[in-house]
Structure 1
Amino acid sequence: MGTVLTEQEWRAREEAHTTRMRRWTEPHQRRRSRGEKHPVLDFLFTYYSHRPSHLERWQPGPGIVLSGAGARCFLQRRGYRAVPDGVALDDAEFGENRARAARSIRALLEATAGRAPRLSCFGLHEWAMVYRQPPGEVRHTQLPLRLGSSGTDEVVDSLEVRCGHYDAFRFFTDAARPRNTLAPARTTQIDLEQPGCLHANMDLFKWAYKLDPFVPSELLGDCFELAADIRVLDMRASPYDLAGFGYSPVAIETPHGRAEYARAQAEFARRAAPLRTRLIALCTRLLENGNRSVSRSDN
């Protein structure tokens, strides 16, 4: 049936995961209770739709049987069933809709993994989102622009904008869109996604939680932690002044800043690669398990 974990073993893993995720979830919930916004970290819980309570919740992933009386609490969640040695994920819950999502996720991740990282965008997507925008209409109105509106526009005018990530490009201002050397669309995402892109690597978190509850929480947590670290660079390299929140800028308007950004981008691409591989392997395993379940039901 799978690897059997004693109650002591799985509870230790559960506690470790919950403690790890509360580093981000608890401050977020305290800020929310006070009505405070955080221009860097809120993104992890607003743009991404996985609830903090679900992020904290541990789950074993496929091929694991949870033993002990306490494992019966998992039967209150959808996607689990009782087995002779305890409780495990129910392969029958991995239906055609989930299989279709897994095939799509795997295809995108495999295409991305097959390309060399491109490290020459320098985070200009955030600058393009405020390019020639009236001051009262910028995305983070509570934050000043480090170089002011005209200085920000000059940076965009002076550098090549080369963003291939559709979910960043769709927030470009109307004036910035023609300046992009690429024209990403949802339909071309699989053709343009590349492993040096900060947003493509942050999105590993999204692809992980899309597989919930069939994704091991340790993998989900690794993807979330990567996304959180990348988000900090993403905003430090933005045109906003984040000194009030304790973040120093990565001044991509200078050669030194662009070199710093590219080095960090390369490191995130290195960290993302094994996570992408693990997600591809998980999708393959889930699809194979699903196919076996269909074959058994047909017989």
Structure 2
Amino acid sequence: MTGSGVLAVLAEPDWLAREAAHAGRMRRWTVPHQERKSRGEKHPVLDFLFTYYSHRPGHLERWQPGPGVALAGPAARRFLDRKGYVETADGVVLDPSGFTERKAKTAEFVLGLLSATASRAPRLSCFGLHEWAMVYREPADSVRHGQVPLRLGSAGTDTVVESLEIRCGHFDAFRFFTPPARPRNALEPTRATQVTLEQPGCLHANMDLFKWAYKLDPFVPAELVADCFELAAEIRELDMRASPYDLADLGYPPVRIETPEGRAEYARAQAGFARRATPLRARLIAHCHRLVSPAE
């Protein structure tokens, strides 16, 4: 270790290249979103990444090295205009004092949640019914994505909900269920039971890896945030393709979970995302462990 908490020094050409690559990678998503927003357009699939999740597009584009990395060269001095960076003999680094008690508590919670989730086998039998439960017996003018029609209509959607078992253990999905749908859920997740119930097959738990990464910003490398974001973007497509909404005109063919074939298709895709989320969850667990126990 050189300097105060510095584990690595990045030469200016190296970190400039990483910064440019990250910004270009994220602008694939942020630029179209900002263009839609300027036109007053809503997108029922992609807006979720910027509305439900609170990480602003400008912050998503912004590269950061994470803790323990010094940025060498004169260009690094512009990082001093950001909150939480200081200059040392090795270069510009994140100020360790910026890792406040509040950040530490967040890291400890994330570590506990993700470790508990990783310890469980994935459950692949929910079939995305959470989205159906969010519109169950809902008046047409109150449906969340009212700009697109329900594929089976209101009555057909309600029939699907009533014909299949709903077993959603993700609190942040369950809390959007309509009142009539809540008693139909086999589980009753709460914020207090989140660590107990989340499991690695859940699409929303895997999308939330993005949330847990940016919650620790800037103490998580930008590339890890970006990896979690891109996985969340792909998962969101499946989430909405399996929903009751008709999104074919937007380029999202349905996964017809109301049929045995559709449920099998959903479970295969869900298993694939669970496998892809596993190494990202492990990276976040390892990173949180380093943040909360730096001496180990």
Q: Could you state the TM-score of these two structures normalised by the residue count of structure 2?
A: 0.97
Following superposition of structure 1 onto structure 2, how do residues 105-124 of structure 1 map, counting pairs within 5 Å?
105-124=110-129
- Residues in 2 aligned to 1:105 and 1:197: alpha-carbon distance in whole angstroms: 16
Following superposition of structure 1 onto structure 2, how do residues 205-244 of structure 1 map, counting pairs within 5 Å?
205-244=210-249
1:104-152 per-residue CA deviation (whole Å, 9 max, x = no partner) reads 1100000000000000000000000011111111111111111011111
The structure 1 segments of at least 4 consecutive aligned residues displaced by more than 6 Å after TM superposition are none
How far 1:271 sits from its partner (Å)?
Answer: 0.7
Match 2:259 to one of 254, 260, 264: 254
- Residues in 1 aligned to 2:263 and 2:293: alpha-carbon distance in whole angstroms: 44
SS of equivalent to 1:115 = coil
How far 1:164 sits from its partner (Å)?
Answer: 0.2
Q: 1:4: which partner in 2? A: 9
Q: 2:3: which partner in 1? A: none
How far 1:77 sits from its partner (Å)?
Answer: 1.0
Question: What letter is aligned with 1:29?
Answer: Q
1:177 equivalent in alignment to 2:182: yes
How far 1:63 sits from its partner (Å)?
Answer: 2.0
How far 1:288 sits from its partner (Å)?
Answer: 2.4
Unpaired runs of at least 5, structure 1: 293-299
1:150 equivalent in alignment to 2:150: no
Give the total of aligned pairs: 291
1:127 equivalent in alignment to 2:132: yes
SS of equivalent to 1:212 = coil
SS of equivalent to 1:156 = helix
Q: 1:13: which partner in 2? A: 18
- Residues in 2 aligned to 1:2 and 1:89: alpha-carbon distance in whole angstroms: 12
1:190 equivalent in alignment to 2:195: yes
1:164-207 per-residue CA deviation (whole Å, 9 max, x = no partner) reads 00000000011100000000000000000000000000000000
- Residues in 1 aligned to 2:203 and 2:220: alpha-carbon distance in whole angstroms: 22
- Residues in 2 aligned to 1:70 and 1:134: alpha-carbon distance in whole angstroms: 56
Match 2:171 to one of 163, 166, 171: 166
SS of equivalent to 1:82 = strand
- Residues in 1 aligned to 2:157 and 2:241: alpha-carbon distance in whole angstroms: 14
